[in-house]
Each structure stands twice: as C-alpha cells, then as structure tokens.
Amino acid sequence: MNDKIKFAVIGCGHIGKRHAEMISRNDEAELVALIDVKDKSALGIDHFNVPLYNSLESFFKSGIDTDVINIASPNGFHAEQGMKVLESGRHLVIEKPMSLTKKDSEALIFKGLQKHKQVFCVMQNRYSPPSEWLKDILESGKLGKIFMVQINCYWNRDNRYYKADSWHGKKDLDGGTLFTQFSHFIDLMYWYFGDITNIQAKFADFNHKKLTDFEDSGFVSFDFVNGGMGSLNYSTSVWDKNLESSITVIAENGSLKVGGQYMNEVEYCHIKDYQMPELAPTNPGNDYGAYKGSAANHHYIIENVIDVLKGRNTITTNALEGMKVVDIIERIYNLK
C-alpha cells in the first residue's frame, strides 16, 4: 500500500508531457520511462531524467518494472497501443478519445476484463467546478423533468493549428472534429443526461477543405433515452479565436447555462427554491499557443489512478463511459 505506483508515458507531446509532469509531482507516483517515436532532442523532456524508448516493444524489452502506462499519442494509435499495454499486464490510462471506433473500444474493455487490469479514460473537464455543480444539480432532481439541452461548441482551429506535418486533420490519426475537439463536451453530455437516440445531423466544411480530411461544422439533434431532446451545434470555422463551449438546460423547474471557452463558468441559473452557491474558479485551459482547449486538470487524473489502484476510490471516467463517447460520435458520423 505504501509503494509508489510506477508509470510510463507513451507520446511525449503537449499532453504526454503534462501527464509526465503530474506523475512527477505526485508523492505516491514514480515516472519510470517515456516512450516516443521522436528523438530526445526534439521532445524537451530532459528534466524528467528517465530513459526514453522509441516503441512499447523496446520499453517492454528493457525489463523496467511499471504498473501503469499512459497513452498520449495521436488518437489513431490509442487502440493498438492500449491493447499491447493490457496484453503486457499493465493498467492503462488512455487519453481521449479512447479509440476511433466502438469496436476497438469494446476490444479494450474485453482485454482489460480478461487481464484483470484497469482502464482509465481521460475526461478531466468533469473535475471543473461548474461541471461538478451541474452534475450535482441534475442528480438532486431539483430541475424536475429535462425538456431541452443545447450544446454549442464554437472554436477556432485554423492553419496555425492544422500544420502539414501534424497528425491533426488526418482522418486515420485524428478521426474528426468531434473526436479531437469536442469529445469532452459529448462526455459531459453523456455523464449528465445519458445516452441519445433518434439522431439527425447535417455537416459542412466552410474553411477547412485544404486543412483537414473532414467536416469543420455540424448541427446534430437527438432525443435523450431518459427523456427530453437535445442538440449539439459545433464548428472549428470561427475566425481568429474560440468563441465558446456552452450548455443550456431548459427544465420543468428552472433553466441554466454554463459557458465560457470550455464550459468553465456558470452564466445563468434560475431554479425554483434554489440559491446558486459561489463556485471555486476553474483551472485555466490547456494552452496550445493561441488556443485554449479543455481545462488543465490532469493532476486529478493521476490522483484518481493512484486512489483506485490503492483501493481508496472508484474510476472517475471508466472504460464504459469512454466507449460510449466513441459510440455516440460514431453514430453521429455514420449519418454523413
């Protein structure tokens, strides 16, 4: 119980380095290795003082003892690398999206069960104070019946982000706008309201024809299996900078809106017999130069992995939830 949990991280870009940093800062964790196809000199990882391997295979051959491997490589590699991690008998932390097909996510869940290993998905926006607040309000039943839910995700991703040598924008490695940009908000929607059905959608590509293999915008509407109807309106075609990611809920006993760039502030709340409490500020967004994406909450993910492996808590975002997000996106994209 007092032993440190040993981690390795595969994919040492923006988010992989954040995993490595959060592992290094946690007293109950130890970073034992990093894995990336690039050379050390290109990665900016010297300060971690751990060996670098260029593949999972070479890392496994090293014989270094590890409990957990965190996958932070491009989306298209998650499923294949995740299978190798579980097959090797390690626990798996897998960045969003869990995979690019439901079939691949199911295979990961099956392998985890077969090997008795945990699969943690990364959806750290759930830890933001407005997300926790909205989840509590919904669970309390104060809102009564849910009538309508509208999710708007209007971001800027232009040629500063979609560079020719990047995995972003490539069908096989990125998967699409809903997988890479907006899966956090689909995760929140599923967490709050459950599954969707009767999906209708229209898509458009306004200004990404030369930058990506897929659409930049969509209007999606659906019914919630648990009652009420919803819509997801999204785009990366916004000029110059992100506009917002917001969720508006119209319910029997009240209405509310959580907005900001990454659903980081409560903009409106009017609920019968209810006084809105003061919320703690949300962590700033993960920084991608001009871009803010999801909240910088990765330390919670590492803490949760440790708590679960030491028997103190349950998984915040489990593999079934990771799979459902992929399933919902796949069902939306199947309407193209």
Q: Enumerate binding residues for ligand NAD (CB under 6 A).
A: 10-16, 35-38, 72-75, 77, 95-96, 122, 124, 180, 286, 293-294
* Smaller CB separation from ligand NAD, 182 or 224: 182
Query: Could you tell me which of 224, 139, 219 has the C-alpha nearest to residue 189?
Result: 224
Give the residue closest to ligand NAD by C-beta. Answer: 13
* Smaller CB separation from ligand NAD, 251 or 328: 328
* Nearest distance from C-beta of residue 227 to ligand NAD, angstroms: 30
* Nearest distance from C-beta of residue 74 to ligand NAD, angstroms: 5
* Smaller CB separation from ligand NAD, 137 or 157: 157
Provide the token pair at 161. Answer: 């982000």
For residues 296 and 263, what is the distance between their CA atoms, to the nearest angstrom?
A: 13
For residues 161 and 19, what is the distance between their CA atoms, to the nearest angstrom?
A: 21
* Nearest distance from C-beta of residue 16 to ligand NAD, angstroms: 6
User: Quick one: 24 exposed, middle or buried, by C-beta within 10 A (0-12, 13-18, 19+)?
Assistant: middle
* Smaller CB separation from ligand NAD, 122 or 238: 122
* Nearest distance from C-beta of residue 270 to ligand NAD, angstroms: 31
* Smaller CB separation from ligand NAD, 14 or 241: 14
Q: What are the CA-CA distances from residue 271 to residues 21, 130, 208, 276 (Å)?
A: 41, 15, 41, 9
* Smaller CB separation from ligand NAD, 85 or 251: 85
Query: Any residues with CB less than 8 A from the CB of 247 and at least 6 apart, and which?
Result: 134, 149, 150, 151, 152, 185, 188, 189, 192, 257, 258, 259, 263
- Angle at the Cα of 114 from the Cα atoms of 109 and 118, rounded to 5 degrees: 55
* Nearest distance from C-beta of residue 53 to ligand NAD, angstroms: 9
Dihedral in degrees, nearest 10, Cα atoms 220, 225, 228, 229: 10
* Nearest distance from C-beta of residue 148 to ligand NAD, angstroms: 28
Query: Could you tell me which of 125, 127, 99 has the C-alpha nearest to residue 112?
Result: 99
